[in-house]
Structure 1
Amino acid sequence: MIAFARLHLVASSILLAMSAAGHAAMPADAPDARDHALISRYAGSWLVAQDVKGFDQVAVPLGSKNGEVARAEGRVTRLFYLAPAGKSVVEVQRNYEQALERVGAAKRGGCAEDCGSSSFGKLREVPANPSLPKAQLEGWSPVTLLQQWQESGSERYWYGTMEASGSTLHVAILSAKPGTIALAGKYVATVVEIVETKAMEADKVVVDAGALTKGLQSEGKVALYGLYFDTGKATIKPESKPQLDQMARLLQSDGSLKVHIVGHTDNQGALDGNLALSKARAQTVVDALSTTYKVDAKRLSAAGVASYAPLGNNATDAGRARNRRVEMVLQ
């Protein structure tokens, strides 16, 4: 978990960097919405809407013309702001960028005005809050802006990462002129997205020894989602211990049981790379069982099949999540 004392120090630096003199009063922020601890808003801005997910996988645009993305998992905070009247997209966006880079954030991607095929995906989908005040800005309503806010060709985008207490934070800033006629040229809209990398709660997905036995007896295999690895890596994470404990308990209770440990991935990335990664992850599990839990290595084998045996549709986030797994298979 990220140490928020460190984040508040960072936030203080960014807040000082973004102070601005003189701005007109904006409507009250969305109920229960607040700035992220990492970064303040552009001074005087209105926090129109907020979306927070405790754990999710997101595709962060790199801002390239061919629509490339970086994938990140963890706590996702998405904030939607309107800057004070009279500010330009350039002024607002550069304040964010300079403040972040000043405190050590490394730029990984971005674009200005001509962003090619970058649709910005979820960055355009901050939900309207139905409990928002009924305040109007020159006849405009929040729902209108959130449904169609980006004027094509006006956008400026920055994506970068930074380290805080051993964790990587992914930060995306997208500013643009609103696409609605009433607001065009007067208010700048900005979406701030921050992904704090962390693991899911392991106790939500552990398959106990009894369930492992039933699955092996009925299906000859069991899909496991309680074994955790960082994206693109084969080192098993400490949060995997509860699931490893249950696997070892089963294997220690029946000395005749022999199993394959099979790694699976979704279809994101190169197939050859995913084949190697899935095999390496399976081997890591085998190594943990044979060394830490003293299970005879001759009773275990490791294999990786990448995306060749999906359980879900790789065209959806939910399907890809089902496909990223390790299976225990009877030999």
Structure 2
Amino acid sequence: MATALIVVSTTSELVRAAEQDDAKGGRDHPLIQRFDGSWMVGYKFNEWEQAMFPTSMAVKDGRWADPVMVEGRVTKAVYTAPGGKSSLEVFRNYEQALVSAGFQRRFSCESQCSTLYYAMRKDDAYVSGMTWAKGYLVTPSGSRYSIDAGTATAEQGRLWYGTLPRGGQQVHVLVYTSVANNETTNMAATYIQIVEPKAMPTGQVKVDAQAMDKGLKAEGKIALYGVFFDTGKADLKPESKDQLGEMAKLLLSQPSMKVYIVGHTDNQGALEANLALSQQRAQAVVNALVTTYKIDIKRIVGRGVASLVPVASNVAEEGRAKNRRVELVLQ
């Protein structure tokens, strides 16, 4: 098999398909670039999103059974290889490049992969929101096919999923190759999905008084991510002002309401130190509500519980970010 260029690196130049414009905004991912001469016909990027990866041939209710769910920076792309390149040749090149770069195979399918393809394409969710290039796939006889979710097909489909350790976490990559549209195109299509785990940006939206009231009535508590502290400290940062104002608005509008302010941490560091820190942070919120917003101190009690009540796993940073929070709890 002749080896075509597929670069897995962070420094090599991109290889562009001659005289064809890629999907708007599209760019090869630094970790895995395109098969030599390919055209990027579809592209999507999210700074923070969730994506799935299959772990077996099992399909349930038309979807992958027991997939790996990963949250983080998500890149998706669909490519078509130059005419005359088989889907097997394209697939092997991607596979070799990924393995050579240190990716560890988690699951792969070499034949009869159609059930995986149709599960992936369920409701075309795998390419939802993708931007598409302008133009058509043109067959040797001159027929034209639209560029869309069906560019990758079930014909001669092969799938490879692997991970690469980086920065203490795992980068997840899925590659699926097949005949493009149908055999008359004499082309191969490749769908690539890459997820780089990262913490969700928190504190971007304050919880207003009305939402807090609804949450307290429904659950008896509500998590607030708009209260900020420097690492290891209990001094409220200025960015906390909006969230504190909404908390005060709720308490002032309902004079009979009594609440606990509960501080939570992740599991990094010693439990005793985190218990003390979470208590100090909870008390800092109480002091701000009493001093700045004139809330009766008899109505609010601060408590710190460190990492004893997580809402997510502390194994990865995205879970730890969710666990670092202040909660408002009805007494």
Taking structure 1 as the reference length, what is the TM-score of the superposition? 0.60
The equivalent of 1:177 in structure 2 is 179
The equivalent of 2:92 in structure 1 is 94
The equivalent of 1:160 in structure 2 is 162
Question: Is the contact between residue 56 and residue 74 of structure 1 (CA under 8 Å) also seen in structure 2?
Answer: yes
If you compute each CA radius of gyration, which structure gives the higher value, 1 or 2? Answer: 2
Match of 1:53 among 46, 49, 53: 46
Quick one: distance in 2 between partners of 1:9 and 1:44? 16
1:90 is paired with a residue whose SS is: helix
**RMSD, aligned α-carbons:** 4.8
Identity, % of aligned pairs? 27
Question: Is the contact between residue 108 and residue 160 of structure 1 (CA under 8 Å) also seen in structure 2?
Answer: yes
Q: Does 1:151 align with 2:154?
A: yes
Q: How does 1:54-69 map to 2 (within 5 A)?
A: 54-66=47-59, 67=64, 68-69=66-67
Q: How does 1:226-237 map to 2 (within 5 A)?
A: 226=225
Q: Does 1:111 align with 2:109?
A: yes
Q: Does 1:142 align with 2:141?
A: no
Quick one: distance in 2 between partners of 1:47 and 1:259? 54
Quick one: distance in 1 between partners of 2:83 and 2:215? 64
1:290 is paired with a residue whose SS is: helix
Sort the Cα spacing of 1:157 and 1:286 in 2 relative to 1 into closer, same or farther, 3 A. farther
Quick one: distance in 1 between partners of 2:151 and 2:53? 20
Quick one: distance in 2 between partners of 1:187 and 1:9? 23
The equivalent of 1:132 in structure 2 is 134
What amino acid maps onto 1:52 in structure 2? F
In the TM superposition, residue 188 of structure 1 has moved relative to its aligned partner by 0.7
What amino acid maps onto 2:79 in structure 1? Y
Count of matched residue positions in the alignment of Structure 1 and Structure 2: 263
In the TM superposition, residue 26 of structure 1 has moved relative to its aligned partner by 6.6
Question: Is the contact between residue 78 and residue 189 of structure 2 (CA under 8 Å) also seen in structure 1?
Answer: yes
The equivalent of 2:76 in structure 1 is 78
1:84 is paired with a residue whose SS is: coil
Quick one: distance in 2 between partners of 1:213 and 1:150? 47
Sort the Cα spacing of 1:106 and 1:261 in 2 relative to 1 into closer, same or farther, 3 A. farther
Sort the Cα spacing of 1:291 and 1:10 in 2 relative to 1 into closer, same or farther, 3 A. farther
In the TM superposition, residue 146 of structure 1 has moved relative to its aligned partner by 2.5
Sort the Cα spacing of 1:200 and 1:26 in 2 relative to 1 into closer, same or farther, 3 A. same
In the TM superposition, residue 193 of structure 1 has moved relative to its aligned partner by 0.8
Question: Is the contact between residue 42 and residue 79 of structure 2 (CA under 8 Å) also seen in structure 1?
Answer: yes
